[in-house]
Amino acid sequence: MNFIIIAAIGRSGSTTLQRIINSIPDSNITGEKWGAIEDLLNCYKNIKGTISCTPKNNDELLTMDEMVKANIKPAWYNCFCLEEVKNNIKNTIISILVTSESISKYRIIGYKEIRFFNKLHLLDEFVELFPNTKIICHLSDNLERQCKSDWWKLDENSKQHLLDYNNQLINYASNKDNCYLSYMKNLFDINEIEKMFLFLGEKLNKEEYDLVISNSLE
């Protein structure tokens, strides 16, 4: 099973991009989760941090009695298995992306999310859990037009926020071999989409692409 994540910014054509990628046979790229998966990734990050703080003996967590006998304050006493928690988080993420009844139909699953501002580092946790992941960082090429959209026009700070978020996406993608930087304008350039599909290791179906572009739903 391979994974694709679209880390995007609102009103950038990310839904059109999602539909284009869903033209890949046996793929299922779902929509936004209101940051739910990122909460799980943050949980995974924090539970690893908890393990690093928990007293151990040869990688075995000390019991409460062992801590007390060793005169160790049990503020960080814990008794969970990291691998078990890790597998539970992985299974929960997969269950959010696809049902157990339909998972066998797909070789690629994933999702798009627009709530990665100041949280792009959590994508590293996803890749740690699922190494066979490719990420598309997607943004608009026209900040002024984006600021005037219904989504952003009522926020007086939207321009600075969008600029900051764009820079975060650009910087993240520039430092990762498994990331591809995508712009809204490129969605309508079949040569650019073919480059993206090459990055994904897939062949673009031009007829399916034309169907999406003829009805972008944006």
Per-residue pLDDT tens listing for the chain (218 residues): 999 999 999 878 899 999 999 999 999 999 999 999 999 999 999 999 999 999 999 989 999 999 999 999 999 999 999 999 999 999 999 999 999 999 999 999 999 999 999 999 999 999 999 999 999 999 988 776 766 666 666 566 778 888 899 999 999 999 899 999 999 999 999 999 999 999 999 999 999 999 999 986 65
Counted domains in the chain: 1
How much is the pLDDT for 217? 63
How much is the pLDDT for 154? 55
**Considering just the CA atoms, what is the radius of gyration of the chain in Å?**
21
Distances in Å between the Cα of 178 and the Cα atoms of 45, 137, 203 are 20, 11, 18
| Residue 161 in domain | yes
Distance CA 97, CA 5 (A): 11
| Residue 152 in domain | yes
| Residue 15 in domain | yes
How much is the pLDDT for 158? 75
Locate all alpha helices (DSSP H) within 138-205, ordered by sequence: 143-147, 158-174, 190-200
8 Å CB contact between 138 and 182:
yes
**Burial of 45 per CB tally in 10 Å (0-12, 13-18, 19+):** middle
Give residues with Cβ within 8 angstroms of 169, minimum separation 6.
7, 8, 9, 116, 120, 137, 138, 139, 181
Task: Tell which residue, 180, 179, 144, 184, has the closest CA to residue 162.
Answer: 144
| CATH code for position 189 | 3.40.50.300
How many angstroms from the chain centroid is the CA of residue 38?
A: 7
| Residue 51 in domain | no
How many alpha carbons lie under 13 Å from residue 147 in its C-beta half-sphere? 14
How many angstroms from the chain centroid is the CA of residue 14?
A: 13
Distance CA 61, CA 64 (A): 10
| Residue 206 in domain | yes
For 161, the domain range is 2-35+90-214
How many angstroms from the chain centroid is the CA of residue 7?
A: 6
| Residue 116 in domain | yes
| Residue 54 in domain | no
| 157: phi then psi, degrees, rounded to nearest 5 | -100, 10
